[in-house]
Structure 1
Amino acid sequence: MSRGLKVRAGVRSTSDLSRLQRLAPAADPMVFDLAGPTEQFAAALDGIDLVVHCAAYGVDYRQRDFDTGLAANVSASVRLAEAVAARGARLIHVGTSYEYGTEDGVLTEDRRLAPVGVYGVTKAAATLALQDLARRTGASLAVVRPFSMYGPLEGEHKFVPLVMAASRSGSPLDLTPGDQQRDYLYVGDVSDACLDLGSSNDFPSGEVFNLASGSGLRLRDVALAAVHAAGGDVKVLRWGAKPYRPAESMRVVGDANKIARAIGWRATTSLVTGMRLTAAADLC
């Protein structure tokens, strides 16, 4: 595996392993369920030095049940963190920029949390609960908040794969005017940040870090880069066919200076390179 690490991937017995097998064929799947009894998944953590916790409910906008989000994103995350701490390991909890809500502008980690929806609210609650756990117990955990991630084999409902698929098939895709600015980040940069942070000599327990490029890109420009990488037809993009959402944030950019100061991390993958890698993987 990259960096010479031995990687285990937590999966459910019902999980589709096709993406894992393509993206990380050397990873060793471990079958457990964070919704089950703690003792059942805690044993799977034996011998592990670092856990990167990405499991979440609500990433797919169609997942809207609050009770399920509370159980999966808050309760299960705290139980996992306690089990990791009991084994003397470190935890990187992957939060989200949605914890800031619909705030416009350049967002720093000390910006007030104003989440909306099941996903944002429960992920923000998880961050607060884990910070409290770190303060009370000394657990070695940190939280990262990625902004607009994209990359190979992303869920088909997300913006980049939607645009790529439509441009390849020739199917018209109705979009807003597309002048919103978002901070797009290639997933490989996110994984590098998690590993760099998790292996740092002076581990910043209890801290929260934005993972962002620090630059805003119009959705129009992101879509055009996706189409060009996919070799598709830009004419399928019907800009302005849909209105902006109520209270749409027009500029959401992350300030990544805190993690740069802590471990020297910066996003390095250009939009052109990231889209090329994404398109190539989706064609395999």
Structure 2
Amino acid sequence: MRVLVTGASGFIGRNVVAQLERQGVDVVAASRRPLVSNPAVRFEPIDLLTPGASADLVSRVRPTHLIHLAWNAIPRKFWSASDNLDWAAATFALSRAFVDAGGVRAVMAGSCAEYDWTGIGRLHENSGIAPATLYGKVKDATRRAVCAFGEESGLPVAWGRVFWLYGPGEAADRLVSDVASALARRHQINTTEGRQQRDFLHVEDVASAFIAALHHTHCGPFNIGSGSPVAVRHLIEILAEELGGLDLVNFGVRPSTLGEPSLLVADTKILHETIGFTPRYGLESGLKSTADWWRNHVS
């Protein structure tokens, strides 16, 4: 078993690589940026948007298994970025090269943005699909094409729809990272009222879910989330108490997004009962690990 992980230097990717390496799996990390935190892992520098890059990578690595995470994830910009189309094409090329090389199983990253957010708040894999953004529309189209190709070619493909995530080392311009960074520095931070409820899962658990799916036989979409909704305000309060900065949070100063759904949460029956995944972190323990990282990072 040799696992190729694309997007290996990303937030989820580096956690996937670290866990596979600890499990003694032969893992190859592929990314545009070096995986500086894990020098023991074989690293393949590559830009999958370059024509022919996927075929060249797969021919060199000869992986049996694939976890494909690479995509545009620049905060706020990825929703409408035109290169979503390029990433779809790169995913198709990678899938074809993987099949041609005799690949055994692939797990790929989707998004909860593929769902219709105007309906019932608890989303299961058969819920309505009506993405509101270019990112969500392209992700859904990619899922349909790749899974159909997998059925025709005999490649089992699982598609993990990630909900909201957080954890140590998260990039800036995300909810948890922005709040934690400000409070660790004793800076004021302005937020919305935070009444909307979302589904948050620690990044290490998100990575573990992808790995669990890799070892399973499930094909098609599956949700990656906690299955438990939490008000954004409550999440911020827990994080602020961990960092001793509740007095620095100014709730309600920023306006809420017009038309934002009040509740979005994953149905996790397939993840838990079929795939057999159990998260390591609860919300409180996960936010504590995140607060500790930011406290040490600022120091």
Flag whether TM exceeds 0.5 (same fold). Answer: yes
> 1:167 offset after TM fit, Å?
1.1
1:31 to 45, 48, 71: 45
**1:265 aligned to 2:277?**
yes
User: For the Cα contact (< 8 Å) 2:75–2:173, is it kept in 1?
Assistant: yes
Total equivalences in the alignment: 272
Indicate if the aligned counterparts of 1:173 and 1:238 stay in contact, CA closer than 8 A: yes
Work out the CA distance in 2 between the residues paired with 1:172 and 1:215.
Answer: 29
Report the 3-state secondary structure (helix = DSSP H, G, I; strand = E; otherwise coil) of the residue aligned with 1:261: helix
Tell me, what secondary structure is at the counterpart of 1:82?
helix
- 5+ residue gaps, structure 2: 1-20
Shift of residue 63, structure 1, vs aligned partner: 3.6
Distance 1:165 1:99 in 2: 30
Q: List gaps (5 residues or longer) in structure 1.
A: none
Alpha-carbon distance change, 260 to 180 in structure 1, aligned in 2, over 3 angstroms: same
Q: Which moved more, 1:133-142 or 1:189-198?
A: 133-142
- Alignment-derived partner of residue 47 in structure 1: 62
Which of 248, 262, 267 is equivalent to 1:236? 248
Contact 2:110 2:140 in 1 (8 A): yes
1:142-178 per-residue CA deviation (whole Å, 9 max, x = no partner) reads: 1001111111211111111100111122322221111
Distance 2:79 2:108 in 1: 21
Q: Report if the CA contact (8 A) 1:181-1:216 is conserved.
A: yes
Structure 1, residues 37-91: CA drift from partner, whole Å, max 9, x if none?
22x332333332222111112552124554311111x111111111122222221
Distance 1:272 1:41, change over 3 A: same
1:128 maps to amino acid: R
- Residue 86 (structure 2) aligns with: 71
- What corresponds to 1:88 in structure 2? 102
| Change over 3 Å in CA distance of 1:232–1:28 after alignment to 2 | farther
| Matching of residue 9 in structure 1 with residue 25 in structure 2 | no
Give the deviation of 1:208 after TM superposition: 0.6
Other-structure match for 2:15: none
Aligned-residue sequence identity (percent) comes to: 26
TM-score, normalised relative to structure 2: 0.84
Q: Deviations over 1:216-263 (max 9, x none)?
A: 00101111222233x241122111112221110111110010122322
Shift in CA distance, 64/148, structure 1 to aligned 2, threshold 3 Å: closer
Distance in structure 1 (CA, Å) of the matches to 2:57 and 2:246? 47
SS at match of 1:4: coil
Q: Which residue of 1 aligns with 2:287?
A: 275
TM-score by length of 1: 0.89
**Could you give the per-residue CA deviations for residues 109-152 of structure 1, whole angstroms, max 9, x where no partner exists?**
00111112232222122111212212222222110011111112
* In structure 2, distance between residues paired with 1:152 and 1:88: 36
Q: Which amino acid aligns with 2:66?
A: V
Deviations 1:185-234 (A, max 9, x none): 0111111111111122xx223x11001111100101111222233x2411
